[in-house]
Copies of this chain bind each other. A is one copy, B any other.
Amino acid sequence: MESLEKIQQYVTELFAKLNFEKQPLMLYEPFQYTMSLGGKRLRPLLVMLTADMFSADLKDAENAAIAVELAHNFTLLHDDIMDASPLRRGKPTVYQKFGTDKAILSGDVMYAKAYEYLLKCDTEKIPALVKTLTSVLVQVCEGQAYDMDFEQRNDVTRREYITMISLKTAVLLAASLKTGAIIANADAQSMNALSEFGLYLGIAFQLQDDILDCWSDLNEFGKVIGSDIVDNKKTILFLSAVEKANDEDAKELITWYLEKTTDFQKKKQRVIELFEKYNVKEDVEQMIGQYTIKALEALDKITVEEERKENLRTLAKQLINRKK
C-alpha cells in the first residue's frame, strides 16, 4: 500500500503529463485550458486510493481516473454557463474566456473523451465501468436541474436540498470510489460500502463548500465569495436560517433572495449578518460532523484490513477541514 501523499503526487503527475490540445483548436483549446487549471483532482484520487486499497497497480487505474476527472470537468464547463459563473479555480471560466458555444461543444467532447478513457481499460470491466459513469451522469444532470429549479422556488426543504446535492455532487464521489473498486476486482459488499462512504462524504463535502462560499479567503477559495447569495442559491445556510429566524428576519432573507438585480455587496453583507445572528454556520458544521461519522462508519464494512482504509479516513478528515 502506498501513502496518501504518494498517491496524491502520482495523480498530480498523471494530469500534468496529459495534453489534449490538437486540431480543431476551437474545440480542444478550451478543453486543455480546463484540464490545465488543476483543481483538487479529488475524483481521480478516490479512484486511485480505492484501487490501491484493494492492492491493484496504480498504473491499471490511470485511464479510469482520467475518465472520471474528464466527466467531472464536463459538468463544470456546462454548469458554469448555466450558473453564469465568472471564476473557477481563480481563473475565468471557459464560457467567459471562449464564449458559450465553445464551452458547450468542448464540454460535449470532454464527456465523450471520458468514455474513450474507460474503453482503454480491460474489456471485461468496460460494461461495469460504463454503467457506473453513465448512471452517475444522469444523476448529476438531474441534480443540476433541481439546483436551477430551487432558484425559482421559495418552499425548498432541507431534505430536498440534501437530495439535490447528493445527485449533483455526492454520487460522483461515490462513483469514483466504485470505479477504483471495479478496476481492482473488489467484492460487491465492499463496493456498496464504498458507495455509501462516497455519498455521505460527498454531502459533507458540499455542505463544507456552502460554508466556504460565505466565509473564506478569495485567494485560497478561487471562486467569488458569496456567489451563492448573489445567485439566490438556497443553500443549507439559507434554509437553516429561514427555519430558525423570527418572522421579520425570515421575511427579510426571503426578500433578499427574490432580488434579481440589487446592490450585491450590501446583499451579501446583510445575508451573512443574518446567517451569523442565527449561528447557522455552527449548525451546518454539526451536520458535516454527522455525515462524516456516517461516512467513516461505512468504511467498517469494507473487507480489507483496517490499516488499508487509513488513506480514505485521512482524506475524509482533510476534506472536511479544508479551506478551499
Contacts and interface: CB of A to CB of B under 8 A. Distances in A.
A263 to B, nearest CB: 25
A104 B78 contact: yes
Nearest to A143: B24
Given A24-B145, A27-B145, A126-B130, A113 B101 contact: no
Contact of A78 (B82, B108, B116): B108
B27 A141 contact: yes
B111 A108 contact: yes
A115 interface: yes
A233 B31 CA distance: 25
Interface string A1-32: 00000000000000000000000101100000
Interface in A109-158: 109, 111-113, 115-116, 118-119, 123, 126-127, 130-131, 134-135, 137-138, 141-142, 144-146, 148-149
B27 A142 contact: yes
B104 A104 contact: yes
A81 interface: yes
A119 B104 contact: no
Given A26-B145, A113-B138, A119 B108 contact: no
A113 B134 CA distance: 8
A284 interface: no
A145 B81 contact: no
B112 A141 contact: yes
A309 to B, nearest CB: 31
Interface in A144-179: 144-146, 148-149
Contacts of A146: 24
Nearest to A78: B104
Given A127-B119, A130-B126, A145 B105 contact: yes
| Residue from A130, A134, A135, A141 whose CB has the most chain B CB atoms within 10 Å | A141
23 contacts: A24-B142, A24-B145, A24-B146, A26-B145, A26-B148, A26-B149, A27-B141, A27-B142, A78-B108, A81-B100, A81-B101, A100-B100, A105-B144, A105-B145, A109-B138, A112-B137, A115-B134, A116-B135, A119-B127, A119-B134, A123-B127, A127-B127, A130-B130
Interface of A: 24, 26-27, 75, 78, 81-82, 100-101, 104-105, 107-109, 111-113, 115-116, 118-119, 123, 126-127, 130-131, 134-135, 137-138, 141-142, 144-146, 148-149
Given A26-B149, A27-B141, A119-B131, 9 more contacts: A27-B145, A78-B104, A101-B148, A104-B104, A108-B137, A108-B141, A111-B111, A126-B127, A127-B127
